[in-house]
Structures are given as structure tokens and as C-alpha cells.
Amino acid sequence: MDHLSQRQLLQLLYEKDCYIQALEQQLEFSRQEVSILKSQKQSIIIQNLSSDEDCNLDENSEPAISDSRVEQFQSSGKKIKLKAPLQESNNFNVSQFRQSTQYLKQKVLDSFDIQNVTTDNLKLLRNNDQLFDDLFILGLGLELSNDPQVIYSYNQVKNQQYILQISKFIFPDGCKPKVIPLSFSLEDINLMMNQNYSIDSSNCFVILTKQTEQQQLKYHICYRYTDFTIINPESVRFSKRAICFSTSRYLIDFYQQILIVILSQLKCMRTNLYLRTKNITQADTNFFDKNIAQISFRILSQLTQKNPPNFITINNQELKICENDNILWGIPQLFKKLNSQSLIKIFVSCLIEKSIVFVSKSPQLSTAACLLCQKYLLKPFAWIHPIISNLPLENIVYLGSPVPIIAGLECNFSTLQSQGLIDKFQNTIFINLDSKLQIQFGNTDAIPLLSAELMTYLLGRLDSYFQIVQSNHSNYSQCLQIFNQLFHARVIRNIPIEPIRQHTNSSSKKPNKSILDYEKIAAKTLQNMGTINADKVIWKQFFQTQIFIQFIDQYYH
């Protein structure tokens, strides 16, 4: 094991055994006192049992225990002392610290048994984690290749092959670097070192993947950035990188904020290093690679407990862990581009299972639009077909699939027009999210018209809500509830209470209990709806979709 994993393991043992076991079980202190102690803990200092000297912890210092020292503890079973400094400063007096914590028994504070220190213990703790699968960084390595590689993985690259499979969706244009003379690049380097990371950036986006029907949908929450590597005293290489969380939990806002914190802390550390050394070579991409593990562990170790907490503490602030449908990332920015009519067109296209492609130079907008269709627009129904939220342009042939697809394309709409791709896929709805006035649709002939009554019903409700959304874009969920109410009022309440099943053959009246008669269920639902003839066209098309059939299966079972 390397030095870092030793420090990680000791921190885990300290947090788990000291605060949970020692405080809760042995001393039976209140939860409030335990929480206060946890918030005061910043790092771990290991001292000799007999030493009460002042300690000074530097952010660039070496790990407190070396490999050989830990092996010695493993073999001898000796006890070492773990101490948490006060939050106000990294310089503190151990004697004063003991006096301020007199309620702790001396043996609890001073000694813990370190036994069976192996990588298996660390993996076991991480396997209990349910909040995220991995945190990884993709980019160019040291080899002379333009293919992205896994630079860092929190779970020690056990999912490397899977990560590389989705890398083409994170970098749809590839990772081809740009090498220029160092003397001509100082201004660009200065901009990179001082760039601000924001959740509203167009570099924030989400990749959706689902390998099989049995597996859960995965959200890959990404932040893409450009960094520099000093190749030699005369040359510098600029290349794209991405830091990503993989999770099956709908915690997009939460993980986007953590990514911002990690990148911002690395930025501060790099700036401080450069101010001290005045050596740009020490502050290039390699500095990120060396320190990402340390920073990410400080934050993510709070999530890798057997029973994950309801919040984590970052920079003295509590960040709630809450799966909230009304997310603040992406979709509020998307609603700045939408109006009532464009939202209805997208809704109808999803309703009848048309392939839809959202086109934008900003992956934030295109992937947020895919998320809108997957998560919100069809509730309580669900889009069950493939979603490729950042489709490489070279793979646009996927749109010729007989299965409907929702995709995002990171390119200019004019590029598709000039190459004749919109005309080539006439059954696909192309939507330009970068249009300045209002979003632009391609192949609108493929979108069926709604009746005047249904259009008036939707517009009358959406227009009033859009006025609220335009002043506060985080209220977009109120608009989306209109479609949910439409489904409940006109479809779900009219589905037959008792299931209608197919007969085994024409001569037998005995039904087959295992097979539903979807055509008769749809016809009965349409009859109960009592809709006008103009509306029957759109609802008949919807009742023939796999979306409706899957819902009926779940409805009766």
C-alpha cells in the first residue's frame, strides 16, 4: 500500500472507532456532543504516547506514518495515539486540548488498537457505500496517445474498462491536445490557474447510462475543464480533462457542488504553491494528479460509512444529502430557452415515442434536456428507450435505429443543416437550443397536431406558470405538473379497473390470466375518456407505445 492509503485507513479507523465506538458506546455521550467533536476534527496527528509537544501540520507534509511504521504496528500489535487538532488552527497544544476535553477518559483519547491493517478492510468499508459508485478523472496520460485514460479513480480503478467505455460520451470530440511554445502560452496558463468553477458553467453536464434492463440507471455527473502540462522547458501541452461522479442516486445538485469544492480547493493549493516557488512547472496538471486523492478522501470519507449521514460538512458548511426532483442545475437554465409552445412540442414528441435530438454547443443544455424527458416530462409514465445525452457526431447513425432515441449533440445546428443530416433522418425531431430568440425545430412535420381544445387547455395553464418561471427559473416543476395532471385527469382515471385479458383461442372463453389484452384496454380507456375525434388520434398513438404498455403491466401487477 502507498502512503496515502495508510493515512486513509488510519483516518477511517479514527473516525469509526474513536467517535462512534468510544464516544457513543463507552462514554454514552449525547449525539449533539458527538456532532460537535466531529465538526472540530480536521485531520489526524499521530504522536508518541509520552509526548505533549506542540504539533504543526502543513498541507504539503508527508503522511504521518510510513509503510514500514504501519507494518511494525501490524506485527507487534502496539498502540499508537491519534489526536484531532482544534479547528481554529493547525498549531495547538496537546495539554490544552486535553484540558478542554476532560470528559473524555484518558485511555479513550490516548490509545487505540491498530490490527489487521490491509487493503481489504478499506475495500470492505467502501463496498458498504450506497451514495456513489466512483469518482474518477479522465484525460491524457504521459503516453503519446490522444485517447483518454483514467488518471484517478477513488475506487482504485476497479471500473476502469467501464469508465473508458463512456469516455467517448464525455469527450465526444476526443482529447486531441494542443502543444505550443511555453513563451507564447503564459497568458493562457494564467487564465487556467485563475478560472472560476461554477455549477452554472456550460462545462457541467450529466451522462445517463444503462447497460441492461435489469441494471439501474446510472448518472455520471461531470465537470469538464482544460489544463496544462509542461512537457519541457520550451513547450506546454493543453488538453481536456473531466472529473466525474458515477451514481445511481438522483443527487445531481449535491455531487455538482462537491466537484466544485474539489476543483476550487485544488486551485487554491496550486496558486499558493506557485506564489511560494515561482515555478510554473511544479503547478501543472501533475500537481492536480498528486493531490486529488488527498482532497477527495477528506470529503468522501464522510459518505463511505456503513450508515451514510443526512449531510456532510465542507468548509464549515453543511451540505444536505437529499434526492430532490426540483434540481437547481441544468433544467432551470434550460427553461430560460423554452416557452409554452416549444415545451408542448417536446412533450408530444416524447408521448408518441419519436426520436429527439437536442443540439447545443453547451453540453449543460443538451444533457439537461435529455434529463427533462427522462425524469420529468412523462410522469407518471417513463421513457424506457435509450438516452444518449452527449452523442458523438460520428455516431449519429444511431438515429437510424428502429428503436426511438433521445440524444444530445454537442455541435452547431448549422453543421447538421449543411451536412444534410436533418433531412437524412426525417423521423427524428432536431431541436436547436442555441437559437437566440426561441428554440428552433427541425422536421416539425413529424410532430402531430393537437386539437384546438387540448392545445388551449395546455397553453392556458402553461402560459401563466411560465410567467412565474421566467422570474424564478427554479419554479419549473410547477410547469411540469401540468402534464402530470393531464395524464391523471384524462388517461389514468379512465383505465379499466379490472384487467382485460386475452383468450387462449377463438373457441374458448376461458381467459389466459398471464396475458393482458392491450388493444382492448386501450380501446376501453379511449371510450371512457370520451375525447373528441381530433384528440383520439394522438391518444391512439400513445396507447400503442411501449411506454403505455409497460405502464399497464405495472398498473395491473
Q: Which domain holds residue 534?
A: 491-556
Please give the Cα distance from 403 to 316 (Å, whole number): 49
Specify whether 211 is located in the same domain as 260.
yes
Whether 251 maps to a domain, the answer reads yes
CATH assignment of the domain containing 400: 3.40.50.11500
Would 204 be classed as within a structural domain? yes
pLDDT in tens, 275-304: 898 888 888 888 888 888 888 888 887 777
CB hemisphere CA count around 326 (13 angstroms):
11
- On the question of pLDDT at 508 being above 90, the answer is no
Asked whether residue 217 falls in the same domain as residue 350, the answer is no
d(Cα 71, Cα 153) in Å, to the nearest integer?
Answer: 25
474 or 371: whose pLDDT is higher?
371
| 21 and 85 both lie in a single domain | yes
Given the DSSP bridges, would you call strands 355-359 and 428-432 parallel, antiparallel or unpaired? parallel
Q: Are residues 162 and 273 in the same domain?
A: yes
pLDDT above 90: residue 214: no
Domain membership flag for residue 456: no
Q: Which of 100, 121, 142 is the last residue of a domain?
A: 121
Does any domain span residue 103? yes
399-443 confidence digits (pLDDT tens): 988 899 999 999 999 999 999 999 899 889 999 999 877 788 888
Last residue of a domain, one of 259, 289, 320: 320
pLDDT of residue 87: 39
Same domain for 163 and 107: no
Are 145 and 103 members of one domain? no
Domain annotation covers residue 420: yes
182 plus 90 within the same structural domain: no
Asked if 316 and 177 sit in the same domain, the reply is yes
Task: Indicate whether 43 and 105 sit together in one domain.
Answer: yes
Q: Are residues 269 and 165 in the same domain?
A: yes
pLDDT at 509: 53
Place of cell 490490527: 115
> Within a domain: residue 486?
no
Spatial CA neighbour of 442 closest among 476, 418, 471, 468: 418
- Cα separation, 488 vs 344, in Å, equals 17
Please write the tens of the pLDDT for every residue from 36-59: 445 544 333 333 333 333 333 343
Q: What is the pLDDT of residues 137-175, one digit of tens each?
A: 999 877 767 888 888 888 875 667 888 888 989 998 888
Q: Assign 514 to helix, strand or coil.
A: strand
Looking at the fold, whether 77 and 190 belong to one and the same domain comes out as: no
pLDDT in tens, 514-526: 689 999 999 999 9
Which one has a higher pLDDT value, 33 or 440?
A: 440
Structure confidence at residue 545 (pLDDT): 94
For residue 277, the SS3 value is helix
**Pair 250, 313 in one domain:** yes
Is the pTM of the predicted complex or chain greater than 0.75?
no
Helix, strand, or coil (residue 74): helix
Asked if residue 470 belongs to a domain, the reply is no
Supply the mean pLDDT for the chain.
75
Domain C-terminal end among 320, 348, 367? 320
Based on the structure, what is the number of domains in the chain?
4
pLDDT at 130: 66
What is the percent of the chain where pLDDT is above 90? 21
Q: Which residues contact 25 (CB under 8 A, 6 or more apart)?
A: none
Q: Is residue 63 part of a domain?
A: yes
